[in-house]
Amino acid sequence: MQAIPNSATTDAASVRQLFSYPFRIFFLSMTVLALLVVPVWVMQVTGVLNLPLAMPGLFWHQHEMLFGFLSAAVAGFLLTAVCVWTGTNRTHGARLVALWGVWLAGRLLLAFGGGLPDWLVHTVNLAFLPLVMIDAGWRVWHARQKRQLMILVILGLLWLMQTGFVLRLDMTYSYGALIMAMALISIIGGRITPAFSSGWLRQRGLDASGIRMVPALDMATLFSMILLMASLVTGWQTVSGVLAIVAATLMLVRLAGWKGWLFRKEPLLWILHLSILWVPVALALLAGTLLAGWPSNAWSHAAGTGAVSCLILGVIARVSLGHTGRPLVLPRGMVLAFIAIHLAALIRVLTALDIIPWHPGIGSSTVLWFLAFGLFLVRYTGVLASPRPDGKEG
């Protein structure tokens, strides 16, 4: 007679599965964080909550939405992808538990560590990205894959921005971090978006030769963003404005070569093209901020809510299916999630520009944000916590 597994056994198996590959635990954790940080921040600033935050509320909110949220997405994607790139075994089991524990400890210390020494809170929070870079860098070094080194360089610059932010509580460094986040999108999005798009066309017997990737243009875009970050942090406002226009133009030329309009009927592709389009939009708004005095929170939300969050949602929706051996068919409701996250970004930017009144703008963009990541949590928790249907590792 076959034994019926009890709930404790099932729960233990799900936990083991979550720590079998980096993308599983980090994609799920960053989604939960995305759903928690916004209401906690609202309740904190309205006096409903009084958490002993380790930094002022606005800075805590910015740090968690940028470094907490983004770093988990980076860890989940990079530590999974680098194993495929280099042919090495993935970080899993106890090592992955320890790495995730560092990330989680950072979140808890910032939320509840107001009475703890600053050096302890900062050390734990600043430890995570270097640990991710060491894990990925060791694999890249031994595989002699110089092509991957630029990702590590950008992550190093992102970490420097985090360091400046937590030590000085200066929003200039969060702006620099947003530029580096978009530079990361420029690299990773610039690889997977045209590659997936070309593959989709070939699978349907269509001509994929029109999808163009120009390495020199890719590098020019990337270096323009690095120079933009450096000039922004050092206070060269006019130079930064000009560089923002240059970077936006280069990114638009790249996007034109990927022909995103051909994939308007495939959600797993249009989400990538449309999300990366937020990069030149954010850069153009940044130029307006620096050269014409436009509100700074317009470009920062175009970058953070638009480019970064929209692309993250699109990528994790695809990666979670592909790496768990499932067909690349979106679960029910995820097209709505893609639409919701883009609408959240659009409304938030229009609110920052005073085109939409403050209260309805903030309220509706928050609801749409919750809808987008809430749908992912509902539809993908089972995918991330269960074995591959084909019985393979993943």
Q: What is the pLDDT of residues 203-243, one digit of tens each?
A: 999 998 889 999 999 999 999 999 999 999 999 999 999 99
pLDDT value for 224: 97
Which among 98, 95, 104, 43 is positioned nearest to 72, based on CA atoms? Answer: 104
pLDDT in tens, 126-175: 999 999 999 999 999 888 888 889 999 999 999 999 999 999 999 999 99
Q: Tokens 């990541």 appear where? A: 373
Specify burial of residue 8 (Cβ count, 10 A radius: 0-12, 13-18, 19+).
exposed
Q: What is the mean pLDDT of the chain?
A: 93
The packing angle between helices 267-292 and 334-352, to 10°, is: 10
**Two structure tokens written together for 277:** 């389009």
The pLDDT-based confidence of 6 (bands split at 50, 70, 90) is: low
Contacts for 381 with CB less than 8 Å, ≥ 6 apart: 28
The enclosing H or E element of 32 equals helix 22-45
pLDDT in tens, 9-20: 567 777 888 999
DSSP letter for each residue of 352-383: HTTSS-HHHHHHHHHHHHHHHHHHHHHHHHHH
| Helices vs strands, H then E, count in the chain | 15, 0
Contacts for 213 with CB less than 8 Å, ≥ 6 apart: 190, 194, 257, 258
**Two structure tokens written together for 258:** 């990927």
pLDDT value for 47: 81
pLDDT value for 4: 47
pLDDT value for 144: 86
pLDDT value for 3: 43
Specify burial of residue 119 (Cβ count, 10 A radius: 0-12, 13-18, 19+).
exposed
Q: What does the alpha-carbon distance between residue 273 and residue 265 come to, in Å, rounded to a whole number?
A: 12
**Two structure tokens written together for 159:** 């970490």
Length of the chain: 394
pLDDT of 39 above 80: yes
Contacts for 78 with CB less than 8 Å, ≥ 6 apart: 132, 136, 151, 155
Give the amino acid at 51.
L
Give the amino acid at 381.
T
Q: What is the pLDDT averaged over residues 34-51? A: 86
Q: What is the pTM (predicted TM-score) of this model?
A: 0.94
Give the amino acid at 158.
L
Q: Tokens 């031994």 appear where? A: 142
Q: What does the alpha-carbon distance between residue 255 and residue 129 come to, in Å, rounded to a whole number?
A: 29
Q: What does the alpha-carbon distance between residue 181 and residue 290 come to, in Å, rounded to a whole number?
A: 19
pLDDT value for 8: 55
Q: What does the alpha-carbon distance between residue 179 and residue 139 come to, in Å, rounded to a whole number?
A: 26
Q: Is the dihedral of CA 379, 384, 390, 394 positive or negative?
A: positive
**Two structure tokens written together for 316:** 């994790």
Is there a contact between 142 and 109 (Cβ–Cβ < 8 Å)?
Answer: no
- Estimate the share of the chain in helix, then strand, then coil, as percent rounded to the nearest 5: 80, 0, 20
pLDDT in tens, 292-324: 999 999 999 999 999 999 999 999 999 999 999
pLDDT in tens, 243-299: 999 999 999 999 999 999 999 999 999 999 999 999 999 999 999 999 999 999 999
- 384 Cα distance to chain centroid: 18
pLDDT of 5 above 80: no
pLDDT of 2 above 60: no
The pLDDT-based confidence of 1 (bands split at 50, 70, 90) is: very low
The pLDDT-based confidence of 7 (bands split at 50, 70, 90) is: low
Residues 143-152: b if buried by 16+ CB within 10 A, e if exposed: eeeeebebbb
Q: What does the alpha-carbon distance between residue 11 and residue 87 come to, in Å, rounded to a whole number?
A: 31
